[in-house]
Amino acid sequence: MEKIFRIFSKESVNINQAAVLLGLFTLLSQVLALFRDRSIAHFIGPSSSLDAYYAAFRVPDLIFVCIASLASVTVLIPFISAKMQGGKVTQEAEKFLGDVFTVFFGGMVFVAVIFFFLMPHLIFFIAPGFPPALQKVAIDLSRIMLLSPILMGLSNLFGTITQLFNRFFVFSLSPVFYNLGIIIGVIFLYPIFGIYGLTFGVIIGALMHFGIQAFASHSCGFTPKFSLSINFADMKKVAMTSLPRTLGLAFNNAAEISMTAFASFLAAGSISIFNFSYNLQSVPLSIFGISYAVAAFPTLARSVSLGNHDHFNNHLKSAARSIVFWSIPATFLFIVLRAQIVRVILGSGFFSWNDTRLAAAALAIFSVSVLAQGMTALISRAYYAKGDTKTPLVINFICSVLIIVFAYLFLKIFENIQFFRYFMESLLKIDDISGTEVIMLPLAYSLGTILNFILHWIFVKRDFMPNEPFIAKVFFQSLGASFFLGISTYLSLNLLSPIFDTTTFFGIFLQGFISGIIGIIVAIIVLYLLQNEELKSLLETLKTKFWRAKIIASSQEEL
């Protein structure tokens, strides 16, 4: 038991150790997420009822990003750090967290109750294309899911403590339990309660997500309690600091709601196809982009508090180069192996071959923006660490509006200009199936996300490192290696196609797996010949026992 508790209390020494640890557990979480999606695809498949399930997430997600982000990790860490002494918990820090907990919990419950009664009116903005009976199902599911933002929001609050103490093990483990809860809903509750069983699984997962974060927070010395006398001056500072970021997240969520609204007018199952492909592209994004962004933030915030500008820039560049190093090869790999990935992960039961082709096409388009999404997550956190939430707000607002505009325009162009329609269908090899208009939604999302990154990159060069090299060298090295990765993977697919029976699960899995391994080996050789620094750093990190990282306590002057 002592060893188990010691695992929960370990801190990570450097960004590579933290990011690799985050990446490994994110990989485990993503594996479970893929198993979750495979179960949903197998038992239900893209359908109107599954569309209602995914549409039901939109209002709870909106509540989460609008309320939970007011007490998010990126905002609270600097406040709590300033109230601690020598890395140790103080009464002032405990009082602050208790005040946040009280205000946050009360606000979340109040908003959830209000939205419970407003749900019949909101559904017309979320899924206007649904028939009345399907809208009724979406309303019921959304009302049940209102428990989720409360639990996940509290978990997010407690997660502030686990990240503050660099307890990335616990932070990474929570999504594993969340996906386990949903899997329980798919396998055990769906046969009993139908589509409502999936919703019950979401609540079980959120409850487990919250439980492990609360346990870890207590082990760090923080046990949030309800405060009878709240320091509203501090709460106002937190809210004002969080407000621009909260609005930015709300803009992003509005773009996602618009995707759902547009898809509700398309063929049945379009919302499901969009979500399945989006979840698949989230695998490389979460493992590589988000892991490095999360691992980098505490150190970035600490560098700002110490006034160490050079350390801030070096840490930011290191994390950015690592994201580029991983994301570009992943993008090429997912584009070339898109059909094999979708068929292996989702292709069973009610998920047909046409569904596979549509999801694969959407996945290819989404994959183009994986690098942009990861870099945006990192650069946004760099601005938050600097206390600047307005710059990401303006950029996110502009790009969220553009995503909505692009979605509308692309759907109209796809519908009315036959040349564009045939070009996109032929390029993605879906010209002989119906429902292809859904691919315009990931196209709009990816284009808007890429523009978001470009604007972030321009501003970060101007504000943080105007005369310093940023990611150019690793970008072209990784792009060159990825080019050879893509060619070798594609050629391997064609060479292995006659050898394996691609009509079976194991045949298509082996074809894709072996081709992918060959491509990765070729990319590693190219990077080695180019003397890529990130590859050298990764190999050095893997030689260390990063999972046994010793607990490090920051000295008083470092805080």
- Domain residues for 447? 2-558
What's residue 442's pLDDT?
97
Q: Residue 259 and residue 127: Cα distance in Å, rounded?
A: 10
How many domains are there within the chain? 1
The neighbouring-strand residues paired with 88 are 85
What's residue 280's pLDDT?
93
Residues with Cβ within 8 Å of residue 221, at least 6 apart in sequence: 88, 89
What's residue 267's pLDDT?
95
Tell me the three state secondary structure of residue 549. Answer: coil
Closest CA to 294 of 355, 380, 213: 380
CA dihedral 136, 138, 140, 142 (to 10 degrees): -150
What's residue 315's pLDDT?
86
Q: What is the CA radius of gyration of the chain?
A: 23
Q: Residue 205 and residue 176: Cα distance in Å, rounded?
A: 9
Q: Residue 56 and residue 69: Cα distance in Å, rounded?
A: 20
Q: Which pTM was predicted?
A: 0.85
Tell me the three state secondary structure of residue 88. Answer: strand
What's residue 5's pLDDT?
42
What's residue 379's pLDDT?
92
Residues with Cβ within 8 Å of residue 53, at least 6 apart in sequence: 141, 195, 198, 199
Helix/strand/coil (H/E/C) assignment for every residue in 297-342 = HHHHHHHHHHCCHHHHHHHHHHHHHHHHHHHHHHHHHHHHCHHHHH
pLDDT tens over the chain, length 559 residues: 445 444 444 544 455 555 566 556 667 777 888 899 999 999 999 999 999 999 999 999 999 888 876 766 656 777 777 777 666 667 787 788 888 888 888 889 999 999 999 999 999 999 999 999 999 999 999 999 999 999 988 888 877 777 666 665 666 677 788 889 999 999 999 999 999 999 999 999 999 988 888 887 777 666 767 887 888 888 888 888 777 777 877 888 899 999 999 999 999 999 999 999 999 999 888 878 887 887 787 788 878 878 888 888 888 888 899 899 999 999 999 999 999 999 999 988 899 999 999 999 999 999 999 999 999 999 988 888 887 878 888 999 999 999 999 999 999 999 999 999 999 999 999 999 999 999 999 999 999 999 999 999 999 888 887 777 778 889 999 999 999 999 999 999 999 999 998 888 899 999 999 999 999 999 999 999 998 888 888 777 667 655 454 333 332 222 2
The neighbouring-strand residues paired with 85 are 88
Q: Residue 198 and residue 260: Cα distance in Å, rounded?
A: 19
Q: Residue 257 and residue 62: Cα distance in Å, rounded?
A: 9
Q: Residue 90 and residue 92: Cα distance in Å, rounded?
A: 5
Residues with Cβ within 8 Å of residue 112, at least 6 apart in sequence: 63, 146, 147, 149, 150
What's residue 454's pLDDT?
94
Tell me the three state secondary structure of residue 85. Answer: strand
Helices (H), 221-308: 232-263, 270-284, 291-306
Q: Residue 45 and residue 542: Cα distance in Å, rounded?
A: 40
Helix 91-126 crosses helix 58-67 at what angle (to 10 degrees)?
150
Q: Residue 395 and residue 399: Cα distance in Å, rounded?
A: 6
Q: Residue 319 and residue 551: Cα distance in Å, rounded?
A: 22
Q: Residue 102 and residue 231: Cα distance in Å, rounded?
A: 11
**Cβ(362)–Cβ(217) below 8 Å:** no
What's residue 25's pLDDT?
67
Closest CA to 297 of 380, 366, 229, 236: 380
Angle at 284 between CA 281 and CA 286, to 5 degrees: 95
Closest CA to 262 of 443, 399, 449: 443
Q: Which amino acid is at 534?
A: E
Q: Residue 130 and residue 450: Cα distance in Å, rounded?
A: 31
**Cβ(51)–Cβ(273) below 8 Å:** no
**Cβ(298)–Cβ(315) below 8 Å:** no
